[in-house]
Structure 1
């Protein structure tokens, strides 16, 4: 597999913005270098989205603005979560100080985050390198202590477990975060948004827009955009009071709010709230709230090492026996069996 950028010949007469000789200057002789570190079961979409942005930027400019290489922990081939095997140029090593390291992971990042990786990340951080995590790789950066006191993001499905494991990290719901020389993305196509921002910072918005056009990426997101769809879009209902109540439920899982208080806060009676949920969601507010709490509990059981009792408390269940009864009714298994059946965690 080639590891150098795909560079087109110079295009002096190319009329496209951000291409050709208008970008040539001091940076032309010093392309920025990215080291992609692939962990087994990494997300192919997150990785390829980032890499394609660099390749297309080179093509639009007509020469190498960026170079890159692929590395693994042991220098051996790496398999992505879709089963495709990737060759790499070598093992993780000391990078040049102005390089950017992008750690790529996906399923079972905890199993891939060993002492050697953590030690290497800490050494490179002490040398001042920019370090980024694509998809679930924010977990490895946080485990190394490199996100303490910083803003970061991770895929929405893993936010509950991440928040429990790393309370010193300011976790956001943004599609990507740049906090100094720490980068993180929420997975999927959010790698495109991060790389377009970096390209714009390095070489101007015209080039970033040209790259987006090549990708047929019509809506570039910023770090102010959240990764999940809005409540009305997710539940398929555009009723402002219903959306407000669902948002309140999602924000108060550990200490659930009674239906009477929810109804009062949106200016309706409990009976009106009941009818609203029955009409649009075909369930009672109490049932909908319970399903939200059990979904979070399931995420924590599969993605963290929290005890079943602590999971119950984090999801608003005062009694472990009540939690187990509700969990069995919803998922047809007990929390203890669910925990035992999970051989991998932090999966996307």
Structure 2
């Protein structure tokens, strides 16, 4: 049976989801909503959507499923619009907002009307933000959080299954949790690191304001841990404000840790400093989920490669010849030596083990395989 899918927001996320639905369900009608006429025109020309419009109320009543793919502030405003529209019986509403508590609180009004609202958040993205960068495999093997409106409610369970079937082409790892748990997790592992990365870059700019060359020489660990500081400022302003209470608490707690290490430095407390780094090393070295853990995301292999032409190509060619699927590849800028470290990510433990075997057989040094 053909369904009408309305995607409100045709940026990287909305466009990529539309592409995945198109590939999995070619007979479904996909309608894009965006105030940017160029995005609508591009998406229609490329076959990402069947039709488009500028305002959600103009098309919402025809939708079987509505996906809100905009910044959190816009999602909240558009939820208010939907609250005043007569929607199709059985319609499912979902979103891809980076924080969930505000959204799920507002969603209670839909639940009281018998309309299923399932919160969602795919944990993947890119430094690019427009529909022109959309691709169906953007979320492959990434977490996709789903937050039910009413825990254990039969109607919501059916809606979750419908959404998982609709988005099967994303090839994600589904995790169902509460809005509170979601926001606490993302505050710690995503939002706070973005604040710290931006702070390090801004501090370095101030420190080296009279010596521009010094900042240009920044490499190794500095470049690795501040990479996320290149993220979209508008998007991150929206995200932080939508999770501000939790983030204020996280910043306070992190400040306490900085003050502790500052005091250890002041009094020359070697044991405290050593424990500070030792505890972090143990935790970081074991951060990879167990192979049978349903929450496992990527399985990482670290390969030592020489800094010479064709080194990376050799690794990818070995994996291609062995027909091993590589989810992601990243050159770690953690040191300034002759050799470098290549981080290879796989979707499962089997692929990682096979890759390790093939690379070692061809003479490459595997530093670590989680």
Does the alignment reach a TM-score above 0.5? no
TM-score (normalizing by structure 1): 0.34
Q: Comparing both chains, which one has the higher relative contact order based on Cα–Cα distances under 8 Å and sequence gaps of 6 or more?
A: 1
TM-score (normalizing by structure 2): 0.32
Which structure's residues are more often strand, by fraction?
2
